[in-house]
Amino acid sequence: MKKSLMISLMVVALVCVFALPAVIAGNAAPDQITITAPEGVKATKTPVDFPHKMHADSGIDCLVCHHKDESKDAVKSCAAEGCHVDASKAAKKKPEGFYQAFHNKKSKTSCLGCHKAEKKAGNKKAPVSCKACHPKK
């Protein structure tokens, strides 16, 4: 009886040591994301190297930016089906357009909108110029 209890406890301990870090890492925010134009769309600016982990570590709730997702465990990219997939010129000014996901000055769910609000609140580090996000390479 004692021997089977000890073996069971050791198995549970091993599962915790090896499986839990993998589960936790699976939900961890990637350190960096490169944001590019959707496939088939000619980009007019350079891709954006987005410091994703820095934003996540600063306490911003995932669902602020991933506002269409139902939970932190089910977040998708902005270019995922059903989100900001329309990158046409006609959609450039529409909220569901790919451009507006990042550049809508009035929305706190867009990069530029959030950064402008942060700047207004006194955060001097929040970039708001085109070149800050799209440096020439």
| Residue pLDDT, tens place only, 53-105 | 999 898 888 888 887 777 777 777 776 677 787 888 888 888 888 898 899 99
68 to each of 3, 39, 57, how far by Cα in Å?
51, 21, 21
The share of the chain scoring above pLDDT 70, in percent, equals 80
Domain count, the chain: 2
Least confident among 2-6, 10-14, 38-42, 57-61: 10-14
Residue 103: CB partners within 8 Å, gap ≥ 6? 110, 111, 112
Do 23 and 49 lie in a common domain?
Answer: no
Do 64 and 22 lie in a common domain?
Answer: no
Do 25 and 6 lie in a common domain?
Answer: yes
pLDDT tier, 10 (very low <50, low <70, confident <90, very high otherwise): low
Q: What is the pTM of this model?
A: 0.70
Do 24 and 40 lie in a common domain?
Answer: no
* Residue 2 lies in domain: 1-29
Least confident among 20-24, 32-36, 43-47, 113-117: 20-24
State the pLDDT at residue 79: 65
Do 18 and 74 lie in a common domain?
Answer: no
Do 18 and 53 lie in a common domain?
Answer: no
The sign of the CA dihedral 80, 83, 88, 89 is negative
Q: How far apart are CA 80 and CA 84, in angstroms?
A: 7
Tokens of 18: 């090896």
Q: What mean pLDDT do residues 110-135 have? A: 93
Do 21 and 51 lie in a common domain?
Answer: no
Do 11 and 75 lie in a common domain?
Answer: no
pLDDT tier, 127 (very low <50, low <70, confident <90, very high otherwise): very high
The rounded mean pLDDT for the chain is: 80
Do 21 and 37 lie in a common domain?
Answer: no
Do 70 and 50 lie in a common domain?
Answer: yes
CATH number for the domain that contains residue 118 = 3.90.10.10
Above 60 in pLDDT, residue 51?
A: yes
Q: What mean pLDDT do residues 116-123 have? A: 94
